[in-house]
Structure 1
């Protein structure tokens, strides 16, 4: 019983715990929001920074931080400038009365001059550093004159120039840094210059703590070391050492006694960044090692103990820093994993939006296609009945309207009259002139104006037939547009799916490939996987300069073939032009088959311009297209028509539209483009390079032949030439090719070229069968020569022959087995 009660209470406790966690998380977020609102929106953070900068010194008596900070806040957050000024004055007051007077005079003079010259300024941000420079220079020289009672001396002038120059530089830095601290909505990423500017600002702020001590431990040493190991833990050795050098340099300028701290901070940042793989413990160990090494050059055991205590407190602050804060900072610093993940997430969102937009366009085109689809049969019958009623109404108006028997025929015997007129119309429509004996006898018995009715029906029949023909053409046009819109919709839908596939995260597979190659001893700088789909692998790699030895082709591609269990080849290679550079290599899946082609062609009479055109197109979807087009006639016009046919076809096929839709689109363009009777044939073969399956589309073209050993296959289809009719059906012939097959395609000038030959099929098959070579170019040349020889060397028509040989794609380099002790197969 107790066990049953325990089982009942356990889920309730889990629910309470989860509810408590959720409430605690909400409370923490609410508190964070309140603190952010208090410090950023209300300006308390700016007040604190102004207080520390107001008491910060350079070379013990220069104060170059106050005016640049106030000017930057005035430009970026003018509503918070009074709070920043109060903080600066409060900080200056902690130093001395003359310091607060100097800071107040600087800011007041700057405001007066800046406001008075407002009409003549075009770009406030560009002119601001110059206003700060001259204001600082003038006020510094004025205070020196008041305090010392003498005119300008060389020393005072040099110090005034140094301080004014520092204010100029600090203004440029603070303009980039202040928005990062005062804006509630910060940018997702920071430039390197902005990060360095922020570090300089933080280091400058920490100089305001010089002289503060807690139990004889220096506050500035603790904060500076904490800042260094924090950035080294977040961003690595480069950023850590940069923070150490910048912070140490500013501290050494503020207090010469702190000069040795620059070495400690820079070394701590370097070691902490190198050991960041150990998380916070690694950064802490780096600081401790740097402290021990630099402490040995200090003032004995007491000084070393004090330095270790300061480093220990900095390490404690690092461990007390929330993980959420470090992750948030890392997202803004270039080069970090969090930054890269943030950028990838942004790109993923862009891809999502793009994919959704493409899918929307696809659905729009599909809806448009559906709207253009032909009406159903019932509505077609209704339209024909309506057209027939209009037809008979016009006939009645011309023949029966003035007849004295109109009432008897149309009121009392409507069905009989209506049926008789339909019979007459169908007789004329079938070409039965004069009418058949039965229909003529019925008309004579029923109508007193039979001859007039026949004439009226015969005249109106022409209009009726024109309307029916026009409607049929509109229906055909609508169907053609619907097919083309549907084809575009399918292409865009496939493109959206490709975008969705690109969104897949391949980090795990990238690490597996990187580890496998490096375990083998191959040095790889970077791996990016775009697709691991079987037969469509796409991988980019960055490798060190190989000196032109072909490391990617000879070593990496064979290893990838073993890892991915399919043949991988180098698709593109961009080698560095200098020894210390990097090579960028793209690896793709090798196709199972390759097509080797040979072409022979000749113009009529040995001319230069042939009416035939040919093209070999390698499409992106792993397909290879071979096409021949023969324009009607010869010469430039025929060449233009055939070439234009292939050009349009190539563009449409490369867009991904299905072959039949592409050919219909080309046909409609050719038929609508001109009223001249200029036609062109098309012989198209689409070969899939993965399985050698092929589709043949023959539009008014001659047969093609496939030679497989001693066997010859003929491929033919019956389609009219392109451009002859606006709408036509395309017959597709499918054939499975094999390695070693020879595909021979030709224009009618070759097929019908032999003289004194009764059966062209038999003659061509015999010539192909007797070939003793399988080289495509040699086959094309031999057949062309045989045809011309039968004509005694005369070329009476344009002649083109394209021979394609299907071959297994044998990679140049065999796969290299990767370490068999590990399971390196990519999942």
Structure 2
């Protein structure tokens, strides 16, 4: 039997949540491919010919402009980009234009560029229509899947049934919720050894719950009743404190975006810097982090997630836009950290007043088809700091960190990020700037 509290982590609820998030994600992607391509403005190319051929022509006001409107010669420039001239058109141009050869050569020169841009737009339009269709189907599939899950009843003894499928002879199973992040599982089993509990039972339960468990007790004193009593405990041994400060050249649109989210013991903090500044850069960096969080939270591997984001941006922007990605992944069970950087500014690890610079040579997301994934991994200690930033911090950011390092021990990460930002702005404010400070803190009950 499972307690009523266990309903929050049943397979049904997990699947429903994941299906709903996938449906939302694919709807978002579908909307991207509905965006219309920028139409080729033939008027721009008419203007180019006018500036080259007609602007300084002494007959401009008589032939290009006539009776307050564009004359037939002016309209023929427009026609030249869209279709071939008839013999009558050519005869009219040669009869009424002072420089008919210059007129025709000017149109032919710019028509090639006009046709090229038009072809690229048509290719993009077909590509987006194909992708729109595919994503629409997937979105509908996940919507239907989510609805079907909500209508399908699942019992409260899912974990017990799962373990019975592995041939464990279970007599009872209880969950005791101690706090939001801490609970114990009390399980009674027949015909099991301590070695089997540690090496077989616990890994299967951890994989099913996607959470780490600690063996609190294995009691064999119940053998005269025919079973062994086991108590497992889940808790996070570490917590995170973090602070962020941002500066934007445009008050309403910072090109840098920040996201913090967690999946069981893993806590993710991500910073993305869109190319340039303003609304477009903000849109690109925000999209990068939204897709990142949704894919990871639904069980997609980190490598596949980043490859998906890279492909999405590459298709969406046709290499005209890209974003950096600075991702910090910390396991709150064992304080193991992984840093992944794509085109991102160096990060800094601070322990006992010593600063370690962490930098990788990698391209931003959305430039090349295949990204090489490079990561930096280490075990953090209590009160270690990690500092992430965008490139707007300037070349002297490391010196600023070292200058203030003695103050960090008595400051919260938010205060540290504010201190660093104030000093960065004294030297540089020509770009969007983001500073993220992360602190790992060991659980109080384990400090002794």
Tell me, yes or no, if the aligned pair for 1:590 and 1:809 is still in contact at 8 Å.
no
- Taking the aligned partners of 1:735 and 1:653, their CA distance within structure 2 comes to 21
Q: Give the Å deviation of 1:657.
A: 2.6
- Partner residue in 1 for 2:246: 601
Tell me, yes or no, if the aligned pair for 2:344 and 2:364 is still in contact at 8 Å.
yes
- Partner residue in 2 for 1:761: 398
Tell me, yes or no, if the aligned pair for 1:672 and 1:726 is still in contact at 8 Å.
no
- Partner residue in 2 for 1:32: none
Q: Given the superposition, is the C-alpha separation of residues 530 and 509 from structure 1 closer, same or farther in structure 2, using an over 3 Å criterion?
A: closer
Query: Looking at both structures, which has the greater relative contact order when contacts are Cα pairs under 8 Å and sequence separation is at least 6?
Result: 2
Instruction: Describe the SS at the equivalent of 1:604.
Output: coil
- Partner residue in 2 for 1:507: 171
- Taking the aligned partners of 2:187 and 2:272, their CA distance within structure 1 comes to 38
Instruction: Describe the SS at the equivalent of 2:328.
Output: strand
What are the residue-to-residue correspondences of 1:240-639 with 2, within 5 Å?
500-501=162-163, 506-508=170-172, 510=174, 533=202, 564=216, 589-604=234-249, 607-620=251-264, 622-639=265-282
CA-to-aligned-CA distance 1:277-312 (integer Å, 9 cap, x gap): xxxxxxxxxxxxxxxxxxxxxxxxxxxxxxxxxxxx
- Partner residue in 1 for 2:360: 717
Q: Give the Å deviation of 1:595.
A: 0.9
- Taking the aligned partners of 1:528 and 1:736, their CA distance within structure 2 comes to 28
Match of 1:686 among 318, 326, 329: 329
CA-to-aligned-CA distance 1:434-475 (integer Å, 9 cap, x gap): xxxxxxxxxxxxxxxxxxxxxxxxxxxxxxxxxxxxxxxxxx
CA-to-aligned-CA distance 1:531-571 (integer Å, 9 cap, x gap): 984895999xxxxxxxxxxxxxxxxxxxxx999359xxxxx
Instruction: Describe the SS at the equivalent of 1:685.
Output: strand
- Partner residue in 1 for 2:381: 738
- Taking the aligned partners of 2:254 and 2:160, their CA distance within structure 1 comes to 41
Q: Give the Å deviation of 1:805.
A: 0.7
Tell me, yes or no, if the aligned pair for 2:256 and 2:282 is still in contact at 8 Å.
yes
- Taking the aligned partners of 2:317 and 2:388, their CA distance within structure 1 comes to 29
- Partner residue in 1 for 2:370: 727
- Taking the aligned partners of 2:323 and 2:267, their CA distance within structure 1 comes to 22
Tell me, yes or no, if the aligned pair for 1:536 and 1:588 is still in contact at 8 Å.
no
Instruction: Decide which structure has greater strand share.
Output: 2
Tell me, yes or no, if the aligned pair for 1:537 and 1:589 is still in contact at 8 Å.
no
Q: Give the Å deviation of 1:643.
A: 0.4
Q: Give the Å deviation of 1:530.
A: 9.0
- Taking the aligned partners of 1:739 and 1:499, their CA distance within structure 2 comes to 40
Q: Give the Å deviation of 1:591.
A: 0.8
Instruction: Describe the SS at the equivalent of 1:797.
Output: coil
Tell me, yes or no, if the aligned pair for 1:773 and 1:779 is still in contact at 8 Å.
no
Is 1:785 the counterpart of 2:443? The answer is no
Q: Give the Å deviation of 1:770.
A: 5.2
Unaligned regions of 5+ residues in structure 1, if any?
Answer: 1-339, 342-350, 352-495, 514-526, 540-560, 567-586, 815-827
- Partner residue in 1 for 2:305: 662
Instruction: Describe the SS at the equivalent of 2:444.
Output: coil
CA-to-aligned-CA distance 1:566-618 (integer Å, 9 cap, x gap): 9xxxxxxxxxxxxxxxxxxxx9711111111111112115x121010001111
Q: Give the Å deviation of 1:717.
A: 0.9
Q: Given the superposition, is the C-alpha separation of residues 675 and 811 from structure 1 closer, same or farther in structure 2, using an over 3 Å criterion?
A: same
Q: Give the Å deviation of 1:508.
A: 3.7
Is 1:747 the counterpart of 2:390? The answer is yes
Q: Given the superposition, is the C-alpha separation of residues 761 and 625 from structure 1 closer, same or farther in structure 2, using an over 3 Å criterion?
A: same
Instruction: Describe the SS at the equivalent of 1:720.
Output: coil
Q: Give the Å deviation of 1:667.
A: 0.8
- Taking the aligned partners of 1:638 and 1:530, their CA distance within structure 2 comes to 53
Instruction: Decide which structure has greater helix share.
Output: 1
Q: Give the Å deviation of 1:713.
A: 1.1
CA-to-aligned-CA distance 1:320-358 (integer Å, 9 cap, x gap): xxxxxxxxxxxxxxxxxxxx99xxxxxxxxx9xxxxxxx
Q: Given the superposition, is the C-alpha separation of residues 676 and 668 from structure 1 closer, same or farther in structure 2, using an over 3 Å criterion?
A: closer
- Taking the aligned partners of 2:372 and 2:160, their CA distance within structure 1 comes to 31
Q: Given the superposition, is the C-alpha separation of residues 502 and 733 from structure 1 closer, same or farther in structure 2, using an over 3 Å criterion?
A: farther
Instruction: Describe the SS at the equivalent of 2:392.
Output: helix
- Taking the aligned partners of 2:357 and 2:187, their CA distance within structure 1 comes to 42
- Taking the aligned partners of 2:233 and 2:243, their CA distance within structure 1 comes to 26
Tell me, yes or no, if the aligned pair for 1:712 and 1:769 is still in contact at 8 Å.
no
CA-to-aligned-CA distance 1:787-823 (integer Å, 9 cap, x gap): 11224xxx321111111110112359x9xxxxxxxxx
- Taking the aligned partners of 2:246 and 2:256, their CA distance within structure 1 comes to 8
Q: Given the superposition, is the C-alpha separation of residues 761 and 767 from structure 1 closer, same or farther in structure 2, using an over 3 Å criterion?
A: same
- Taking the aligned partners of 1:681 and 1:498, their CA distance within structure 2 comes to 45
Tell me, yes or no, if the aligned pair for 1:749 and 1:797 is still in contact at 8 Å.
yes
Q: Given the superposition, is the C-alpha separation of residues 536 and 641 from structure 1 closer, same or farther in structure 2, using an over 3 Å criterion?
A: same
Unaligned regions of 5+ residues in structure 2, if any?
Answer: 3-10, 12-157, 177-183, 189-200, 219-231
- Taking the aligned partners of 2:161 and 2:291, their CA distance within structure 1 comes to 27
- Partner residue in 2 for 1:89: none
Match of 2:294 among 645, 651, 669: 651
CA-to-aligned-CA distance 1:632-684 (integer Å, 9 cap, x gap): 01111101100000011111111223322221221111112222511100000
